[in-house]
């Protein structure tokens, strides 16, 4: 990356305050940036750093008013965080790869779109359809009859089982498994378990991002569905026949049991456990480490195990913190009551 401040400002639709000809060759945090770097200021907590930063340019809000002298150049925009995010995306594109590396296996029946990159040691199965501008990094497996939409990124060592359908502009990070068998077993006449064949698939809609080492199981029948705009963190388990609604975000180490339906625009914290066959409404918020054992209505905010409304949880937590004191007081009262009874008898 090597662009002038003016070129970057043009890309971000911002205005320059300072020297527009200074060259930028890297992106860095405002507190760590050096000459030639560009950074941004969106959170007021970091405002003191703009007066000491060595960055050659900082992206700020249009109405930012400095209180001290600065040594850096400014690019003024409507939303610094969004602008910086766009810049990161632009910077990332400069690392794009193209073409087929060797060795790799691409089935003769696979259909590959334009401007595709397929990394070394990647396997592309029969009747696979890969759209335009797709990037599949080394060591990935794409099974038979998989469909991958345009502009999708599949990072190294991702396994995508047969019949999976992936939309446009999807990102799947390393180590993720999409379409593995759901956890389906039934006890037979003995003490062991018989596997239930999992004949469904996984559907991932457009603009979904899936973190590393996440598992999304295929449906027993029908489809496990991750709707448009969903963002999944690392190490998440999505069981068979689960459906996750549009624009829902789920943090790391969450497990969703089979056939549960999660609504749109939900926010689910890390290490949450969700039981099977539940219905989670729209706009629901679940605190970290919660255990969800019952269905939730639209707009509920819950936390705890078992999960309860957040206001109830906060009141309960105050009582919980005072349990030792309450216990000691009860012990003292019981002692005094016992003494009174003995006195009354005598």
pLDDT digits (tens, 9 = 90+) for 106-153: 999 999 999 999 999 999 999 999 999 999 999 999 999 999 999 999
pLDDT digits (tens, 9 = 90+) for 9-53: 999 999 999 999 999 999 999 999 999 999 999 999 999 999 999
pLDDT digits (tens, 9 = 90+) for 200-237: 999 999 999 999 999 999 999 999 999 999 999 999 99
Q: Give the mean model confidence (pLDDT) for residues 84-91.
A: 88
Q: How confident is the model at residue 318 (pLDDT cuts 50, 70, 90)?
A: confident
Residue from 49, 95, 162, 240 carrying the catalytic annotation: 240
Q: Give the mean model confidence (pLDDT) for residues 284-307.
A: 97
With 0-12 CB in 10 A as exposed, 13-18 as middle and 19+ as buried, what is 339?
exposed
159 vs 260: CA distance, rounded Å: 24
- The whole model's pTM is what? 0.82
Backbone angles phi, psi at 163, to 5 degrees: 70, 5
Residue in 132, 158, 133, 156 with CA at minimum distance from that of residue 143: 158
* Integer CA distances (angstroms), 13 to 1, 5, 29, 345, in order: 19, 12, 21, 89
Which pLDDT score, from 0 to 100, does residue 241 have?
Answer: 98
Q: How confident is the model at residue 196 (pLDDT cuts 50, 70, 90)?
A: very high
> Is 240 an active-site residue?
yes
Task: Give, for 148, the enclosing helix (H) or strand (E).
Answer: strand 147-148
Q: What percent of the chain has pLDDT over 70?
A: 99
Residue in 27, 51, 52 with CA at minimum distance from that of residue 40: 27
Compute CA 204 distance to the chain's CA centroid, rounded to the nearest angstrom: 14
pLDDT at residue 58 above 90?
yes
Which pLDDT score, from 0 to 100, does residue 155 have?
Answer: 97
With 0-12 CB in 10 A as exposed, 13-18 as middle and 19+ as buried, what is 44?
exposed
Length of the chain (residues): 346
pLDDT at residue 94 above 60?
no
In the sheet where 177-180 sits, what is the strand order? 105-106, 123-124, 141-142, 159-160, 177-180, 215-217, 237-238, 255-256, 273-274, 291-292
pLDDT at residue 287 above 60?
yes
Q: Give the mean model confidence (pLDDT) for residues 64-83.
A: 95
145 vs 155: CA distance, rounded Å: 20
Q: State the Cα angle at 289 between 243 and 240, rounded to 5°.
A: 25
Q: State the Cα angle at 159 between 158 and 162, rounded to 5°.
A: 145
Mean of the per-residue pLDDT values of the chain: 95
């Amino acid at each position: 990356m090597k662009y002038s401040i003016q070129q970057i400002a043009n890309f971000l639709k911002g205005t320059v305050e300072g020297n527009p000809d200074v060259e930028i060759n890297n992106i860095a945090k405002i507190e760590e940036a050096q000459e030639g770097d560009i950074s941004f200021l969106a959170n007021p907590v970091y405002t003191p750093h703009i007066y000491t930063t060595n960055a050659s340019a900082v992206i700020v809000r249009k109405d930012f008013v400095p209180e001290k002298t600065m040594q850096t150049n400014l690019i003024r925009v409507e939303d610094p965080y969004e602008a910086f995010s766009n810049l990161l995306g632009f910077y990332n594109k400069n690392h794009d790869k193209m073409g087929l590396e060797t060795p790799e296996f691409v089935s003769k029946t696979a259909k590959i779109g334009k401007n595709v990159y397929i990394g070394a040691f990647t396997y592309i199965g029969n009747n696979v359809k890969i759209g335009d501008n797709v990037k599949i990094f080394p060591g990935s497996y794409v099974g038979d009859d998989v469909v991958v939409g345009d502009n999708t990124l599949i990072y190294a060592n991702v396994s995508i089982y047969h019949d999976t359908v992936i939309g446009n502009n999807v990102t799947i990070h390393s180590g993720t498994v999409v379409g593995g068998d759901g956890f389906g077993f039934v006890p037979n006449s003995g003490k062991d378990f018989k596997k239930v064949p999992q004949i469904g698939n996984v559907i991932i809609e457009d603009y979904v991002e899936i973190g590393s080492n996440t598992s999304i199981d295929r449906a027993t029948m029908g489809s496990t569905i991750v709707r448009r705009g969903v963002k999944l963190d690392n190490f998440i388990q999505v069981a068979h026949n689960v459906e996750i609604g549009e624009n829902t975000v789920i943090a790391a180490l969450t497990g969703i049991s089979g056939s549960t339906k999660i609504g749109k625009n939900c926010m689910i914290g890390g290490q949450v456990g969700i039981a099977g066959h539940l219905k989670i409404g729209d706009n629901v918020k679940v605190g970290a480490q919660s255990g969800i054992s019952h269905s939730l209505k639209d707009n509920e905010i819950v936390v705890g195990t078992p999960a309860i409304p957040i206001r109830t949880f906060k009141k309960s937590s105050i009582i919980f913190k005072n349990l030792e004191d309450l216990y000691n007081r009860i012990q003292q009262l019981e002692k005094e009551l016992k003494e009174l009874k003995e006195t009354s008898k005598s």
